[in-house]
Structure 1
């Protein structure tokens, strides 16, 4: 299987992008896959979720040309991370005048030879549609959208779809939504109703697996641990394991739903 570069994106915050990247990536590595996670959010929550601290450059220095290559650190033998820091908040301004600014991340991934070294590259995008997210989708083979089962995030899906369509037409013909993952799901009339409408409107692009609300998912990053290591018997661990298995199934059969 060719290396898959998946941008985990949604312009709305608080939908579980970082939680999904950290736990999906960790579980994929446990299942024997070589995984690179790239923290593209200036809040650096993905970085803090997996490593206690970092010394040296971050993705900001790589994107802005202050270092020549991606600063990759090891979480374990099969799971690696490109960390972020607060300085990434300045990247959109600094990149605004760069030549071929939309392709900088793609160039860095190519230079790092990710296709030789990893099965999956997961890009944790910031909650915006700025230049950093544009770089991520331009570099990706797939886009995965976490979506909470509430009305406003559901309505915002159209904006994400339009943005990705623009990238596909102008910058990256591969860009497409290959999956939508329902997060923070609960057994309420609202959650069930939103899920039903989403499955009717978007069809098979919506993952069968969904992530239930679970306090253990919020606690695990405080210990710099993924949900399997922190609470393997929790609903969060069960749900992300099911998601990882479905994710592998979809990637292996090359399921592509261009939305």
Structure 2
């Protein structure tokens, strides 16, 4: 027995160790909700480069869309610590330039496919109710409802070039069907997978591919950005790992 502050305590009493803090996301344990994410940017940029090397412009568009809409937003960049912010802001410009080269006629479809594919990864690790899943579902619903009721409203369809108008009118029933599944049928990660695949198919059908010269140029720029990004991150962190800079 020992005496602490006049009270008897048992020095042999076991002390329960504190459990480590649970990460915000099991899928992305390095993720910080309110700031730009270096590991997220590295993963997306690497995927953009890989997709373009394979000639897959639509997957590259999806990766860029997810990165710019959820990770490299102006709000998150503004809240990011200076060293990381300088690197991320620099590469946000280069990534945006590639996005412009690959610009598609209906970017909302790409954004939906991108968000739902990323939501699947969060849902499988963190559950369908995780905030990152719900955020992407909410934004996807906004995109698809905006397409149907605003951008592709009858009076606006009439203003399109005949070829584009006919193409959109043909795909509208598919968009409605996919929207119904998205809004009313997402209960499990498998449901997300079905919805994501459907919107990805529609997006590929509508958005197509850029010309070969544009694709080659985007491929070259993405490869260079991907290589330089790693070098700049190491320089910013003084050769240390991401984990060690957060301790």
TM-score (ref. length: structure 1): 0.31
Structure in which a larger fraction of residues adopt strand: 1
TM-score (ref. length: structure 2): 0.32
Of structures 1 and 2, the larger Rg is shown by 2
Structure in which a larger fraction of residues adopt helix: 2
